[in-house]
Structure 1
């Protein structure tokens, strides 16, 4: 049976055991969110030995050469020594710029990195509050060089959300891995209809992508649909309506969860050239995608990002 070593600890595991489970079950805290190789919260480094990696494409060749692996995607097959990600040593320093509520349940976190961060609208970033980590999608644009912005769903308690609630402006916070994510704006879509469908705080990255499309003077029609639990959940209603008033090609539709099924059933594509981006709770992402496919949208013209809530549920 292979042996797993972390710092001064060493123990035996069954061959084929999932690396993330083997670490967490033995008291080595490795954060995780998606367990699908997307969020990069469970990044660890193989110092000696190696593991069977089911998603080698999830990391860059340079990262893999340095021994970095996503624990959720790996199986222990031989003796291996693991270095876990230390936010104080391996992360980037940043500080809280501002915390404010965009609604009863959505906390806007703005942070200022110590060094400028190159990113594009829709990307994910791993945030560390103390020793608790969680990946979040950026709601800001690279042009907002004063801060990075994130929208946190606080309806249910969680270690990271509870830790962030205690922060105040000026407090330190650490940044982990930056990921591309599925969502982005492509200038080649310039003339095509663009549909943005979100539930809950899935609106955050799409708000960034919407503003990027408008910044690049997107000429096609833009349709944004936001589904919230109730009317109070449309936490960006005012800025969205302001953008719609300024840009004649933008149409904003705000739906409650009760209204959404009937509204989605009425969706019709004006053009098979439509590009769709969907984001939010898995149930709603599936509902959006199913309806768009039934309406005739080619599968390669839909980009989706699922927000796994680890117990929060809802929209």
Structure 2
């Protein structure tokens, strides 16, 4: 019986041997450092089979649910098929279902996909043009309810992908995507646990996906959604979210606009840091630019929040990857 398959190749693994040692002995260039399960640089993902619990210690519940494990402390007792942690983006073809403006510079792009494309709300995918241009966008749709994948895309003046989307995309256009990737998902959250969803700009997209997933599953704990923008127009789903709060007693929507001096004025990070108090018990979902996500992670941790309870989707500048 083959206990270890790497990509499509069977790897010889000795009784009691860890996965990292077997990979290195097979001359596979597997990243690693501490070899004690601390640095997490040797992380891989099981695409078939379940890694032992000891190989997932220190990982978030979301990572565990997706099959991620630490190769240096993984001694398999059953067959595993594994791939590197960042090699799970499967390329597939999609068709443009529709595209509409949500604000002056944000569009909602819906893509029809075949049944082989599976994802969880809050993950992201890579949109690929015919000439090889690639950009990452987060998923706002819910696979149980939506026959399409929904992306919220900010159009940047002069941006190559922005020009492609605004000038060339229309109903019926075929595109390629790769993915999904990311662990900013609802899996692993207790139904009675408080949730804090915090994002700015189109960082709302993955939060909408997670929110819809939580509500569909009957989440009972309080859910607070914080959305920040520079200008009032940046709250591009404001009316929809206000209406949603009227239908769900445990949902609270807190918008913040930097340029506004009214009741919704202020900084979204400051608002969340001021309002959240049950920090060790709260599941945090942090989505937006590097500065916002980094600040929230640091400050919430310093105030007592658990890093294991933080899921994030960091938006990096074009060309930086995810």
Q: Using structure 2 for the length normalisation, give the TM-score.
A: 0.67
What is the CA-CA distance between 1:262 and the residue it aligns to?
4.5
Cα deviation 1:54-111 (Å, max 9, x = unaligned):
466356578xx9998969xxxxxxxxxxxxx9xxxx8322110001111111111101
Pair 1:225 & 2:233 matched: no
What is the CA-CA distance between 1:308 and the residue it aligns to?
0.5
Partners of 1:187 and 1:216 within 8 A in 2:
no
Which residue of structure 1 lines up, in the alignment, with residue 301 of structure 2? 293
Which residue of structure 1 lines up, in the alignment, with residue 117 of structure 2? 117
Which residue of structure 2 lines up, in the alignment, with residue 108 of structure 1? 108
Partners of 1:268 and 1:295 within 8 A in 2:
no
Partners of 1:192 and 1:275 within 8 A in 2:
yes
For structure 1, the 5+ residue unaligned runs are 1-49, 72-84
Which residue of structure 2 lines up, in the alignment, with residue 169 of structure 1? 171
| Counterpart Cα distance in 1 of 2:270 and 2:196 | 18
What is the CA-CA distance between 1:287 and the residue it aligns to?
2.2
| Counterpart Cα distance in 2 of 1:115 and 1:130 | 23
Cα deviation 1:101-150 (Å, max 9, x = unaligned):
11111111101014452211111222212222222211101123421100
SS at match of 1:209: helix
| Counterpart Cα distance in 2 of 1:193 and 1:225 | 14
| Counterpart Cα distance in 2 of 1:299 and 1:93 | 36
What is the CA-CA distance between 1:177 and the residue it aligns to?
2.9
What is the CA-CA distance between 1:310 and the residue it aligns to?
2.7
Q: Using structure 1 for the length normalisation, give the TM-score.
A: 0.69
What is the CA-CA distance between 1:303 and the residue it aligns to?
1.4
Partners of 1:98 and 1:169 within 8 A in 2:
yes
Worse overlay, 52-61 or 253-262: 52-61
| Counterpart Cα distance in 2 of 1:154 and 1:140 | 20
| Counterpart Cα distance in 1 of 2:313 and 2:91 | 24
What is the CA-CA distance between 1:293 and the residue it aligns to?
2.2
Which aligned runs of 4 or more in structure 1 are off by greater than 4 angstroms?
50-53, 58-62, 65-71
Which residue of structure 1 lines up, in the alignment, with residue 313 of structure 2? 305
